[in-house]
């Protein structure tokens, strides 16, 4: 087992659509230990959300996991029956989303929703969950007495995200997945929410997967970074290694697109566009955009390979045998 909390092995997910079969995940490899913070970065459509939904056991029609597996604390999630998975969600793994207001049920009071979630994970009555609701709302900096009786549309975006965080952390999950938790919020509120998350998970010791487009946030918040491109993790290393010594041509391109690390900037600037995953490029899916592309790149998908201790790269430039052999000539 590569991580004592989570090990995602060769995960392949497809979506059956009217346009054809979208090959969304193409053999994702990812692992993490208890208490670690992993940042997942990459351009839009590269599979960040599908990866996190797979980890939550939430891939549903028209999607399907066609190969590979997700192991949580060594147990195969694919082999769990739906009631075990349902119990795990919320209790062991919980998730916060980009749009907190729409993630909450619009017709139920915020307090009731959090109470219901606590009651489900702790297997207690909704009534007896209310003291915990108060505690959690205060912990995330909300006026519990007031917020408990409000409906989601009565909350600002920042308040709603605080309420989501209260709900997600109320069961002290081993893993919190935050899928772009601040990108729908104002810049000043973004920083407050990240600080709140940072404080809470530091105290509780939860592992976190943070999906973000913001390299500055990833650099500050995460211990490790996984860079995804078109359905694969193409580089995986400590945050320091990723920012100080990026190896994959795609990661280098991403970092070049951000003028200064630590400054919030959208990811822009790599020539070309993300491929259509109904007909993805053969071999390394980055090859049509890569200035280092060789013949082998269009023929073989490079495996994620440990180039130096703890630094993994999926690129034919880095192989056990060395850089160039017979079919590694430039195209």
Q: Which is nearer to ligand SF4, 173 or 249 (CB)?
A: 249
Contact 60, 140 (CB under 8 A): no
* Min dist. Cβ of residue 100 to ligand ATP (A): 16
Q: Which of these, 140, 132, 94, 100, lies nearest to 116 by C-alpha position? A: 132
Q: How far is the CB of 330 from ligand SF4 (least distance, A)?
A: 9
Q: Which is nearer to ligand ATP, 64 or 325 (CB)?
A: 64
Question: Which of 15, 31, 72, 229 touches ligand ATP by CB under 6 A?
Answer: 15
The nearest distance, CB 268 to ligand SF4, in angstroms, is: 19
If binding is defined by CB under 5 A, does position 94 make contact with Mg ion? no
Asked whether the CA dihedral 278, 279, 282, 287 is positive or negative, the reply is negative
Nearer residue to ligand ATP within complex by CB, 47 or 246:
47
- Tokens 């920012």 identify what position? 243
Q: How many angstroms separate the Cα of 59 from the Cα of each of 117, 213, 291, 331? A: 21, 23, 35, 38
| Structure tokens given for 169 | 């952390």
The answer to whether 232 contacts ligand ATP (rule: CB under 6 A) is no
Retrieve residue 77's tokens: 């999630």
Closest CA relative to residue 242, chosen from 61, 282, 233: 233
How many Å is the maximal CA-CA distance in the chain? Answer: 71
| DSSP bridge pairs for 176 | 94, 208
Q: Are 10 and 29 in contact (CB under 8 A)?
A: yes
Q: Does 52 bind Mg ion (CB under 5 A)?
A: no
Applying CB under 6 A, the span of 15-23, 80-88, 189-197, 234-242 interacting with ligand ATP comes to 15-23
How far, in Å, CA of 270 to CA of 330, rounded? 20
User: Considering the complex, what minimum distance in angstroms separates the CB of residue 326 from ligand SF4?
Assistant: 15
Per CB under 6 A, does 309 bind ligand ATP? no
Q: Which does 46 bind (CB under 5 to 8 A by kind): ligand ATP, Mg ion, ligand SF4, none?
A: ligand ATP
Convert residues 262-301 into a mask of x (bound to ligand ATP by CB under 6 A) and - (unbound).
---------------x------------------------
Q: Which residues bind ligand SF4 (CB under 6 A)?
A: 248-249, 284, 286-287, 290, 292-294, 297, 302, 315-317
- Sign of dihedral through CA atoms 185, 191, 194, 200? negative
* Neighbouring C-beta atoms of residue 270, cutoff 10 Å: 19
Question: Binding residues for Mg ion, per CB under 5 A?
Answer: 48-49
Residues making contact with ligand ATP (CB under 6 A): 15, 17, 22, 24, 42, 44-50, 62-63, 277
């Amino acid at each position: 087992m590569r991580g004592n909390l989570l090990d995602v092995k060769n995960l392949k997910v497809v979506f059956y659509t009217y346009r054809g079969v979208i090959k969304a995940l193409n053999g994702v490899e990812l692992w993490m230990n208890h208490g670690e913070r992993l940042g997942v970065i990459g351009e839009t459509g590269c599979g960040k959300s599908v990866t996190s939904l797979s980890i939550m056991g939430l891939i549903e029609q028209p999607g399907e996991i066609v190969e590979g597996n997700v192991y949580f604390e060594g147990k195969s999630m694919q082999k769990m029956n739906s009631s075990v998975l349902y119990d795990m969600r919320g209790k062991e793994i919980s998730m916060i989303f980009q749009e907190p207001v729409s993630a909450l049920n619009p017709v139920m009071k915020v307090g009731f929703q959090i109470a219901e979630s606590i009651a489900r994970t702790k297997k207690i009555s909704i009534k007896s969950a209310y003291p915990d609701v108060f505690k959690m709302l205060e912990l995330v900096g909300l006026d519990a007495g007031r917020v408990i009786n409000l409906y989601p549309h009565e909350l600002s975006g920042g308040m709603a995200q605080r309420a989501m965080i209260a709900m997600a952390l109320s069961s002290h999950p081993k893993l919190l997945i935050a899928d772009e938790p601040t990108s729908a919020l104002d810049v000043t509120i973004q920083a407050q929410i990240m600080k709140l998350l940072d404080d809470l998970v530091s105290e509780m010791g939860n592992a976190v997967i943070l999906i973000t487009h913001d390299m500055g946030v990833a650099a500050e918040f995460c211990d490790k970074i996984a860079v995804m491109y078109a359905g694969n993790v193409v580089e995986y290393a400590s945050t320091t290694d990723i920012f100080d010594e990026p190896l994959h041509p795609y990661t280098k391109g991403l970092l070049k697109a951000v003028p200064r690390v630590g400054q919030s900037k959208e990811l822009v600037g790599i020539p070309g566009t993300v491929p259509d995953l109904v007909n993805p490029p053969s071999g390394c899916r980055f090859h049509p955009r890569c200035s280092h592309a060789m013949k082998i790149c269009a023929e073989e998908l490079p495996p994620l390979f440990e180039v130096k201790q703890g630094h993994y790269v999926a690129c034919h430039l880095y192989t056990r045998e060395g850089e160039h052999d017979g079919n590694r000539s430039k195209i």
